[in-house]
Structure formats: C-alpha cells, structure tokens
Structure 1
Amino acid sequence: MGSDFKAIPLVDISALVEKVDHPGMADDGDLLDVIRELDRACKDAGFFYVKGHGIAESLMAEVRDVTRSFFQLPLEEKRKIRLTPRTGYRGYQRVGQNITKGKLDMHEAIDCYAHIEPGKYGDLGKHLEGDNLWPDCPSNFKVLLDNYARLLRDLSRKIMRGIALALGAPSDAFEGGTAGDPFWYLRLIGYPVPASISQEQRTNTGCGAHTDYGLLTLVNQDDDICALEVRNLSGEWIQAKPVPGTFVCNIGDMLEVWSNGIYQPTLHRVFNNSLHYRVSVAFFYESNFDAVVEPAELCREKTGGVAKYDKVVYGEHLVKKVLNNFVL
C-alpha cells in the first residue's frame, strides 16, 4: 500500500468525535464522509492531520510550553528523573542517549508509560513496571500531563472507532481483547539547535527513520518549525509542515498486522535544521499490553483469504524495541 503522495492529508474529524459513540451513527452522512477520508489517508499516506478533534489549542500549547520549560533546566536538574532499567525505562534521557537502528538521535526526552502493577504481566511486563517520574519543576507538570494523556486516550479511541468502520468492521472492533484496556505511552521530546551539540556527538538526525509500534500516534508539534518528514512510495521525504491546532496522526505496526496489510505504517524521521529548539509531544495509543494481535478475519477476506502476518504479542514487540533503544 501507500502512494506517491506529495502532502499529508488533512481530515476534519469533528463529526466523528461528536457522533461515533451515538446510536444510528452508521447512517450519518457527515460521519460517513470522515470515515471515507480516514480510509483514503491510511491507505495513501499512513499519515494525516486531524482538526475538529475537541482538544483545546491552548492546552496543546501549554503542554509544549511546560515541556520546553523542563528542557531548559540545567542538566543536573533534569537527571534527577533520569531513565534507567530500574525506573522501568521511564524518565529523562539526555541528547544522544536514544538510538534508532544503531545510530544516536539528537534529541532529549521524557518517557512516560501507562501504569503496570508489579507482576501483572509476569515476565512480559517486568521491564516496564512502576510509576512515571515527574519533575518538581515546572510544578504543574504531573497534573497537566496526566490530564492530557487521559484526553488523548479518549480521542485516540474515537479515531480508532472511525478506522474500524473504514475497514468495514464494527466500530468497537479494536476494543475488548485487542485494545479494550489500551496501553499508552507519552514521549516529550526536545530537538536542540544542531550548533548547540558537541562536535564529537553531533549527527544531523533528530530521530532516525522508523515506524511506530502500536495502533495510532498523535503528535503535538511546534507551530513554526518544519522538522518531521514522511517517506512516500517513491522514497521521497515529504515534510509534515506544522498546521496550528492539529495533531499529526500516523498508524503503527499493530494496525498493519490487524488489517493484514491493508493499512501500513510509513517511515518517518526528524531533522531539526532550524535555528530554534523544537518541541514535540507524541502520544502512542497501543493494543492491550498482553494482546495477541493477528490479522482480523474480515481483513484476511479482503486480501486473498490468507494471513500475511504472524501473530504478535504487543508487549513482547514493545519491550524488544525499548531494550534496544538506549545507551545507558
């Protein structure tokens, strides 16, 4: 799948947000238009902007602002919540600590995950057990981000209901055993100006080319810096230019498996070649942590009747990636 798209499509999902949980929604013309647009965007690009999502633009800006305030702190302050295996790979990582395909990424970040009770998933979940690490400064950090994650989890569920309908499935197809108790994680990312990075450490890559691990990603990016790039079928890198008030959404590995390849994640990367520090806050909406994800029967029927993908235990997929993501 995929195409030689030259721009990221924009989808107004206001009808979806308002009506997808209502009885009789399947006959609503406005909602059907949104579903057709989502289907086209997932097939053609695997990326799309969403507007009409119901999240206040002022909240989106506040989340970016508090993230930027934290990254402006001295390194010794930021390292008080540093990420280690003992923190469940939660917390702060310095510039160059994250790795994509064996190469250092020129960004710093805070990783936050949904809570995992000790022992809940046995050996599968032991690496990510624990609570998130929150800084003392800014003082509203925890309250703001907890609320933001809650709102984006609900928004993501609604978008996934639209994607289920786009695939011809019931609206709740991704709930229950697949994502009825969705795992999520949140990355607050800062991309320094290249000249501020030491010569020994410097590369030109803010984050190397990759696909995301789960079902759906929502990115809240600075309004005035072009840095995110998406690769089309011809191998061209297309800029996901900021559109104020929107989220940039993209589909992940688990949706590719579930849809039997009808929808496929798209490689993307980040280059901050501007003269300004860039902030991006990515929310990842995933399967249930212990879900066994496999091609859905209705998607197999649409693609020749044969499963093109093996079963994947989402938690195993995530943990394998996380354990290879950092220089510790």
Structure 2
Amino acid sequence: MAIPTVDLSPFFTEANEDGQKKAIEIIKEACSQYGFFQIVNHGVPHDLMSRAIEFSKTFFAFPDEEKLKFSPGSGAPLPAGYTKPPSHSPDKKEYMLMFQPQLGFNQFPDNTPDLRDVHEEMFAYFRKTGELIENILNDCLGLPPAFLKQYNHDRSWDFMISLHYFPATEAENCGIGEHEDANIMSFVIQDDVGGLEVKKDGEWIPVAPAPGTIVVNIGDCVQVWSNKKFKSATHRVVRSKERHRHSLAFFYTIKGDKLIEPLPQFTEEIGEAPKYRGFLYKDYQALRLRNKTHPPSRPEDIISITHYEISTK
C-alpha cells in the first residue's frame, strides 16, 4: 500500500481542465482516506530542494557550541532558532526553526550566506505551492472561491523547519512519535533515508522518498472545518539504525486570532451535528506548544484536536 501521488503539471499549463479535475479528484480522495499525498511536477526546482537538504546537513554538522549560538530568542509566535532536545525527550532530533523572512524571525549563522539564501528561496516556493494546494482544497471542500485565504491572507504565520534525526539505537528507534499537525497542511521533503510513515486503518504505511517529490499532509484545521470528512493525518518518523536523516518541513498555517469550527456546509446545511466546538487557533497552538515545553507524564494527557471534540454520549 502506498499513499497517492498527484501530478500538478496541469495547473502550470493553459486549458488543461481535464488534468486539473483528475488531480483534484485524487487529492479529494486522498484527504478523505489518508490525509496524506505526494506531489510531483509542482514547480519547485529539484536542484533547489537538493541544495536545501545539503545546506541543512552543513549546519547540523557544526559543533554543538556553534549551533547553540542560535538557540530560540523572544519575540516570535513560536521559538525561532536552533533547538536540541533534552536527553530524556522521546523525540531524538534537533532542528532549526525559521520564520517568514520578512518578519525577521529566521535565524542563520552569518558565515553561511548560501544557507540563508537557499532556505529563503525554498520558503518562497513552499508558500506558492501552499497557495495552489489551498485553492485545490477550497474546491475539494466545495467552498466559495478564496474562502480559505481569509484565515491567513498575508501568510504571516507560516514557518519552516530544517530537521536532523539521529541514528536509532538498539533500545529506541523513534524519531518523532505519532501525532497530527495542527495547521491547514504541511509539506515535507526528505532525503533518501526515509522513515516517514502515515497511519491508516491501524497500520503504518512508509512514505518512500523519491527525488523531486514533496509530501503533503492535511492538518487538524481541515478536519474540523470538514467535520471529519477529511482526515488530519496521523504520522511519525522511524529512525534508521545506520544513517542520519535530514528533512525540511513547511507549515502552511493560520493567524492566531481566527476562529476554527465546523463549517455550515458540513453541519447544519446537511443536517449533521458539529463534532467539534469552536476555538481560537492561538489557543490550540499554545496547548500544542505546551506538549513540547512541559511534556505530560502520561501519553493520554497530550493535547490533540480531541480536546475540542463534542461528546456524543
């Protein structure tokens, strides 16, 4: 079993309505069945994707004392900069969190201008790809034109992370445990090590890396808007025993003051009760961030979108 792959080339050529309709149908089915799909011919240069991964490897190869100079500062909606997990953390990875370039939250060593340039260019391409997929999701959900755009019209809450997963040990192979993303959607490019897996019907499906391919997964906001018609994908990363893993993740997200709730098209207009109560995105984001800064002692106490579910009992 493999997650669907979607060819986006019809959206970059004129008068290819049949190709666009086919892509939209594949994405709609993927969102309802997996919450995951891969895209090819997406307009992001393959050599740029490769260089972004290689420059990330360069940064993570720096000594710890050099990387720690770029630890998170204050003033950003999320802590931008380099983060190394504590030794007791179940997630065995380090990462560099970079915000939208014009907001000034991105963090880079001054002696690596190429790394900065490549990642800022990669960010810009991810944002364009996100706007395209957002329009497609808008169609898949049957919403008025540009309806989803209102949730972050200036894209000022989007962010990107470079990640480095350490090789697995005999006792532990978790890179990041199973979870769902809180946002609209996420994009991932991974090196040839792989390790990304998506959960479907209780089974874990590996997402095999392929050159030039971008992985897309749907987040909690889409699941809430659609009243569970579309899935927020449960996924994880399993580490290789022999190799380090590098990836780049872009989070296409929402402004904090926006209210998220099931849309009437999926509730009152079709006679279905809402499955979630409404919430401000910033409140949910704060709860999710607390999972990381103050990890609960019991897994069942980790906050997820079920926190806002309406009980049917």
Same fold (TM over 0.5): yes
Match of 1:187 in 2: 161
Please say if 1:51 is aligned against 2:40: yes
The residue matched to 1:89 in structure 2 has which SS?
coil
Q: 1:190-221, CA deviations, whole angstroms, 9 ceiling, x for partnerless residues?
A: 011235xxx9xx73211011000100100010
Residue-by-residue CA offset, 1:244-282 (whole Å, 9 max, x unaligned): 111010000111111111111121111112412110100
Match of 2:303 in 1: none
- Aligned to 2:64, which of 51, 58, 75? 75
- Whether 1:206 and 2:206 are equivalent positions in the alignment is no
1:269 maps onto 2:236 in alignment: yes
CA distance in 2 between counterparts of 1:304 and 1:312 reads 22
3-state SS in 1 of match to 2:43: coil
> Which of 302, 307, 315 is the aligned partner of 2:282?
315
SS at match of 2:160: strand
The one-letter code sitting in structure 2 at the alignment partner of 1:232 is K
User: Displacement, 1:69?
Assistant: 0.4
Kept after mapping to 2: 8 A contact 1:107/1:191? yes
| Selected match of 1:94 from 74, 84, 108 | 84
Aligned partners of 2:189 and 2:215 also within 8 Å: yes
Distance 2:11 2:137 in 1: 10
Unpaired segments ≥5 residues, structure 1: 1-5, 20-24, 118-129
Q: Secondary structure at the match of 1:283?
A: strand
Match of 2:198 in 1: 230
Give runs of aligned pairs for residues 6-17 of structure 1, distance below 5 A. 6-17=1-12
Partner of 1:64: 53
- 1:93-112 CA distance string (max 9 Å, x none): 11447x9xxx5200010112
Q: Secondary structure at the match of 2:210?
A: coil
Q: CA 1:51/1:274 → structure 2, altered by over 3 Å: closer, same or farther?
A: farther
TM-score normalised according to structure 2 size: 0.86
Q: 1:155 to 1:275 in 2, by over 3 A?
A: same
1:161 partner amino acid: N
User: Which of 180, 190, 201 pairs up with 1:221?
Assistant: 190
Equivalent residue for 1:134, pick from 108, 114, 124: 108
- Structure 2 unaligned segments of length 5 or more: list them: 296-313
Which residue does 1:124 correspond to in 2?
Answer: none
Deviation at 1:225, TM superposition (A): 1.3
Does residue 156 in structure 1 map to residue 155 in structure 2?
no
Does the 8 A contact of 1:164 with 1:174 survive in 2? Answer: yes
Contact 1:192–1:272 under 8 Å retained in 2: yes
Cα shift at 1:312: 2.1
Q: Determine if contact 1:162/1:171 at 8 Å carries over to the other structure.
A: no
C-alpha contact 2:198 2:236 (8 A) present in aligned 1:
yes
Distance 1:291 1:18, change over 3 A: farther
Correspondence 1:104-119 to 2 at 5 A: 104-114=90-100
Shift in Å, 1:179: 2.8
- 1:70 is paired with a residue of what secondary structure? helix
Aligned CA-pair RMSD: 2.5
| Equivalence for 1:254 | 221
Query: Once structures 1 and 2 are overlaid, which stretch shifts more, 74-83 or 314-323?
Result: 314-323
What is the CA–CA distance in structure 1 between the aligned matches of 2:22 and 2:227, rounded to whole Å?
Answer: 24
**How far apart, CA to CA, are the structure 1 residues paired with 2:81 and 2:119?**
13
**May I ask how many residue pairs the two structures share in their alignment?**
293
Shift of 1:137: 4.0
- Corresponding residue of 1:40: 29
User: How far apart are the structure 2 equivalents of 1:317 and 1:132?
Assistant: 23
- 1:217 alignment partner AA: S
* 1:165-176 correspondence runs (5 A): 165-176=139-150
Higher relative contact order (CA 8 A, sep 6+): 1
State the shift of 1:141 in Å: 2.1
Residue-by-residue CA offset, 1:64-95 (whole Å, 9 max, x unaligned): 01101000000000000012567751111114
- Which is worse superposed, 147-156 or 54-63? 147-156
CA drift at 1:296: 1.7
Deviation at 1:293, TM superposition (A): 1.5
**Aligned pair in 2 of structure 1 residues 43, 171: CA closer, same or farther (>3 Å)?**
same
Distance in 2 separating the partners of 1:261 and 1:145: 34
Q: Which amino acid aligns with 1:106?
A: K
Report SS of the residue matched to 2:254: strand
Query: Aligned partners of 1:287 and 1:280: how far apart in 2?
Result: 23
Report the CA distance shift for 1:82/1:189 in structure 2 as closer, same or farther (over 3 A).
Answer: same
- The reply to whether residue 147 of structure 1 matches residue 116 of structure 2 is no
